[in-house]
Structure 1
Amino acid sequence: MRVITANVNGIRAARRRGGLEWLAQQEPDVVAMQEVRASAKQFATALDGSALAEYELAHAESAAAGREGVAILTKHALASSSCVIDGFDEIGRWVEADVVVGGRTVTIASVYVHTGEAGTDKQTAKYAFLDALEARMAQLVGRPALVMGDFNVAHTVNDLKNWKGNRGKAGFLEDEQAYLTRLTQNGWVDVVRANHGDVPGPYSWWSWRGKAFDKDSGWRIDYQFASPTLAAVAREPWIGRAAAYDQRWSDHAAVVVDYDLAALETTGE
C-alpha cells in the first residue's frame, strides 16, 4: 500500500503546476492532502481529467471559502469517513476514513494544523486543536492506522535547518514539540524519522522566498505517524523534493511511504 501525504498549497494551483500529474505518477493507493482550499465542486473540477479523478474521495472543506481543507483519495473501497474531531467541524483540518485494501481495513486521517503565533489567541487555538488531535489519536493507536499531514511543528533540532533563529517562534515551541513527543511515547511512530535516524532532515517545507530551497534551508513539518501495527511494515519512506526550484508545485514536498500489508497477514495481525 503506497501512501502519500502532501500539502498541495491549493488543489487548483497544484493542478496548474503539475502536482496532480506528479502524484498520479507515483501510483499511490492512498493520497492525503492538506490546504486544498476548494469547495466540493472546485475540487471535482480540479481532479477532472487526471488519473486521480477515478479515486474515491473523502473531503472536509473549510467554512471559510478558499481556506484550509483536507482530503483523502483512495483507489480502494472507502468504507466510512468523518470530518469531525472532538467538535472541531467546518474548519477543514481533519478528515478520517476507513479504507479497505486487500480485505484489510486501514484507518487513514489527513490533518492540517494551522501555523499559530506565539503568545496570541491563534496559538491558543492551535493548542486546542492539538489537544483534540491527541485525544483522537489515542483512540486509534490500537488499530492499523495512519495519521498524516502538515502538523506545522518541527519536533527537534533535526527537523529545522535554522533552529537557533527560530527559538521562541511558532512551529518550534517546546509546548508544541511536547505533543509530538507524547504521540511517540504512546506508540505512534514517525516513520520518516525512524527510517532516517537521528540526523538533520529530510526537510519537507521551504519558503518560496529567497534561496531557502536551493540551500535546503527547510523545515520537516509533514509527517506520517503510523500505529505500531503499520509501523512494523513501513518500507523505504522518502520525500518527493523537486529537482529544482522551478519544478516545485507546492512549497511543501510530498511524503511517500510503502506499507507491506502482506507482511501483516503472515504475522497474523
Structure 2
Amino acid sequence: MKLVSWNVNGLRAAVKKGFNDYFTAIDADIFCLQETKLQAGQIELDHGDTYFPYWNYAVKKGYSGTAVFTRVEPLSVRYGMEEDYEEEGRMLTLEFQHFYLINVYTPNARRDLLRLPYRLEWEERFRHYVMQLDQIKPVIICGDLNVAHQEIDLKNARSNIGNSGFTHEERGKMSLLLESGFIDTFRYFYPQRSDVYSWWSYMAKVRERNIGWRIDYFLASKRLAPCLVDAQIDVEIMGSDHCPVLLELDEQKLAQL
C-alpha cells in the first residue's frame, strides 16, 4: 500500500505546474493534500471512478484546507478534531479496517511567534485526540507538521534556533508525540540521512542550493513497525515550496495485526 502526502501551497496553482502528471505517475492508494487554498466547486480533478475524494475547506477563502483521495472507501470520516468542524480546514481523519489515517496541516507559529501559544495549545489537543484513536486501532499521521524536529532536519540549525518551526517548545511537542508511541517513519529507515528536506523558502536559489527544512512527515503507531516497507521524500518534484513525502506499507502484515 502506497501513501503520499503533499503540501501543494494552492492546488489550483499546483495543477498548472504538473500536479496531475505526478498524481497519475505515483499511483498512490491514498493521496493526502495540505494547503489546498480553495472552496467547494473551485476545481475539477479528473480521476475517474478510481478515488473517493474528501475535502475539508477553510472558511477563509484562499487559505489552508486539506483533502484526501483514497482508492479504498473509509469506514468513517471526521472533519476537524474534537468536533466535525473547524474553521481552518486543517484536518481529515479517515478510519480504515486496520488503521486510522490523520491528514493534518499544523498551524504555523508565525515569524513573530505571535501564534505560538495557540500552536502549543493546539498540539496538546491534537496529541490527546491521537492517543484516543490509538487506543482503538493504530494511527498513521501525515502532513505538514510545521516543525523540524532535530538539527539534522534543517540546513542551518544553529542560526534557526528559536525561530518559528524550530523553537524548543515546538520541537518538544513533537518529541512528546513520538514518545507517546509513534515512529517518525523517515528516520526509522534513515536515522542519519542528512540534507534531505521537504520544504524550501521561495527566496532566490534557496531550493537550488538545498537550504531546506524537513517539516512534512509520516508518523505511525509503533505497533505498525512490522508493516513499514519504506519512507521516501520526492525532492525532485516541483510545483510547490514543499515536495511530496511517501510511505509504503505491507498490506498482508497489516491485515495480521
Tell whether the structures are fold-level matches, with TM greater than 0.5: yes
Judged with a 3 Å threshold, the aligned counterparts in structure 2 of structure 1 residues 151 and 86 are, in CA distance, closer, same or farther, namely: same
Query: Does the Cα contact within 8 Å between 1:32 and 1:71 map onto a contact in 2?
Result: yes
User: Match of 1:80?
Assistant: 76
2:244 to 233, 254, 259: 254
- Which AA in structure 1 matches 2:104? V
Aligned sequence identity (%): 28
CA distance in 2, matches of 1:221, 1:52: 32
Normalised TM-score (structure 2): 0.93
- Contact kept? 1:24, 1:52, Cα under 8 Å: no
SS at match of 1:6: strand
Aligned length: 255
- 1:171-211, Cα deviation, whole Å (9 max, x unpaired): 00011011111111111111001111134242100112222
Distance in 1 of aligned mates of 2:197 and 2:88: 27
Partner of 2:109: 116
Summarize deviations over 1:45-87 as a string: whole Å, max 9, x none: 2x1x3x3774112211111011000111101112211112135
Deviations 1:5-32 (A, max 9, x none): 1101111111110113202211100011
Which is helix-richer, 1 or 2?
1
In structure 2, relative to structure 1, the CA distance for the partners of 1:25 and 1:165 (3 Å cut) is same
Gaps of at least 5 residues in structure 1 are: none
2:34 corresponds to 1:34: yes
Instruction: Flag structure 2 segments of 5+ consecutive residues without an equivalent.
Output: none
Specify whether residues 170 and 42 from structure 1 end up closer, same or farther in structure 2 by C-alpha distance, changes over 3 A only.
same
**Correspondent of 1:225 among 206, 215, 219:** 219
Query: The residue matched to 2:21 in structure 1 has which SS?
Result: helix
User: CA offset at residue 227 of structure 1?
Assistant: 1.1
C-alpha deviations, 1:71-128, integer Å up to 9, x for none? 11101112211112135712111111113xxxx3431111001221366441122112
Q: Distance in 1 between matches of 2:220 and 2:15?
A: 28
TM-score normalized with structure 1 length: 0.89
Correspondence for 1:23: 23
CA offsets 1:194-231 (integer angstroms, 9 cap, x no match): 11113424210011222211111100000001112323
Task: Please state how far the C-alpha of 1:169 moved relative to its aligned partner.
Answer: 0.8
